[in-house]
Amino acid sequence: MYKRIIFISIVIIFYLIICKFIYYKSLNYKVISTNQKLLINNVIQKNIETPIGKLIIKKINIDNNLYKTNSRLNNVDKNITILDNSIEPDNKSSIMFIAAHSGNSDISYFKDLDKLNINDEIILFYKNKYYHYIINKIWEENKNGYIHVAKEDNKQLVLTTCSPTHKNKQLIINSTLKRVY
């Protein structure tokens, strides 16, 4: 009888050891799997959060990074923003739409946009090239979520912000590509 109890006890202990081993092995697998997912997500997020370019307007002291449209940093409440309908400057029919807040807060990157004039220059650094644009038109239109810009034969860069003088209007600055270097 004692032999049978000892045998059953050994089998149960052995069974518990195997269960514990399997359980911890599965936990380690999940931790490794979760860590790998976190690592992959961090790499993806870091890639998204890496600047893809820079907007430079010397006349009004702008020298700010630009981020991919799917980046959380490509947001007017954080930075100068590339709008979704933009076609990148290395594309044959490029038209970049860039927006930012005006006003007097820390995120009012375009607070002095109204100080720009026809023939002023704007530089867009993108994929290790400098795209040199010249302003050719400045106007205001009603703020309704759209920007009405005629597509030109040249590559364009369009900047927009709220009008500093008219509450329900937006300021729009259109520029065309002069050269790339």
Query: Quick check: pTM over 0.95?
Result: no
Locus of tokens 């004692």 = 2
Spell out the per-residue pLDDT of the chain, length 181, in tens. Answer: 777 788 787 878 878 787 776 766 655 554 545 555 555 555 555 566 889 999 999 999 999 999 999 999 999 999 999 999 999 999 988 999 999 999 888 999 999 999 999 999 999 999 899 999 999 999 999 998 888 898 888 899 999 999 988 889 999 999 999 999 9
Residue among 126, 108, 125, 168 nearest 144 (CA): 168
Q: What is the DSSP string of 74-91?
A: SSTTTS-EE-TT-B-TTS
Distance CA 157, CA 98 (A): 8
Cβ neighbors of 76 (< 8 A, separation 6 or more) are 99, 100, 101, 107
Q: What residue type is 178 in one-letter code?
A: K
Q: What residue type is 107 in one-letter code?
A: I
Distance CA 42, CA 45 (A): 5
